[in-house]
Amino acid sequence: MVTAVRYLGPNWYASVMGTAALALGGAALGVDGLRELFVGVWALSLLHLVVLLAARALHWGHHPDQARAHLRDPAMAPFYGCLSMALLAVGGGALALGRDWIGEPAAVALDTVLFVAGTAVGLAAAVAVPYLMAVRHRVEAGQATPVWLLPLVAPMVSAALGPRLVPYLPPGQPRATLLYGCFALFGLSLLATLLMLTLVFARLVTVGPLPLALTPTVFLVLGPLGQSTTAVGAFADLAPGVVPAPYAAGFGLLAVLYGVPVMGFALLWLALAVAHVVRARRHGMRFAMTWWAFTFPVGTCVTGAAALGRHTGLAVYDWLAVGLYALLVAGWLAAAAGTVRGLVSGELLAGPRPAAVAPRPVTGRTTSGAAR
């Protein structure tokens, strides 16, 4: 077991995120007849998180050299944002679904612990990873990939899921502080993501398509778009009675005036991402752990579309959420099946293979590291 986890990187937390997104997206649809199924999916994500945390603890305890190598690798270091998002997603699912199984008091306690831990890790990653990229990694703009967004998106997940805890705090200052704090996390993540997104888009249109194994990561751009739309919807849901009336109404306006155009851009990017993946499949793209990018980002668009359905009253957004959820299910099934096959064969936990041809240094590390 100790040897098996030597190459277990932080990118594996994306599989927890994807499973939790499947549960949260289902809860957002509000289909009562399937609620027990979604609770079961959440329980699976919780079990997955516990097992992975234990395996990663073994990794750090017995292979610190490899753990430090992951931090030094610009292809792997951004995935430390996935630890934060995995904690937050499972915690948010505890209140949305898990309370049916473990009871509300336990769900609140679990969500509180995971929210605090996930937010702390997310803020640390949002500072530490860009710092390492600037002073240690020595990357170039032409080497940008959507993976660079991961540590910057983590605070947005806190912003979207934190408001669930507002009703469980004492009225007055505590509730308002948490809501405004989540709003601050929204701004922090949004502005940082916009800065990085320009590099990612410029790389795609000037350098060309990503390596085949990395092509699914184009879907990662959907994450901040869908999650920010989800967040403003959550602010609008919780603001009445928590913040003064003018600001509560302002949150309601923000949910629509921000969410509608951003969801429009998300659909545009979804079409672009699908086109890139279709091209990559035609060129021989095989399964890699990057396929989990088909899950969590799409899940955020499901919850974002559901939020727009609530606040606009338009049925088209409810149907959009259903359609996106179908895409999420397909992505999860593909990623989960490939992961199980890779674990059974031992390929996913094996060391990185030497590249067949000499690529550019960062691209080579990205393909071998992030793909596993």
Q: Looking at residue 114, what is its pLDDT?
A: 98
Helices (H), 73-172: 80-93, 99-102, 104-132, 150-161
Q: Looking at residue 143, what is its pLDDT?
A: 84
Mean pLDDT of 46-59: 94
Task: Return the bridge partners of 243, or none.
Answer: 240
Helices vs. strands in the chain: H and E counts, helices first: 14, 0
**For residue 69, how many other CB atoms are within 10 A of its CB?**
15
Q: Which pTM value belongs to this model? A: 0.91
The band of 69, judged by pLDDT with boundaries at 50, 70 and 90, is confident
| Inter-CA distances, 24 with 35, 85, 251, Å | 11, 13, 23
Whether residue 355 is predicted with pLDDT greater than 70 in this model: the reply is: no
For the stretch 282-292, pLDDT in tens is 999 999 999 99
Give me the amino acid identity at 100.
Answer: D
Task: Return the bridge partners of 240, or none.
Answer: 243
Give me the amino acid identity at 206.
Answer: T
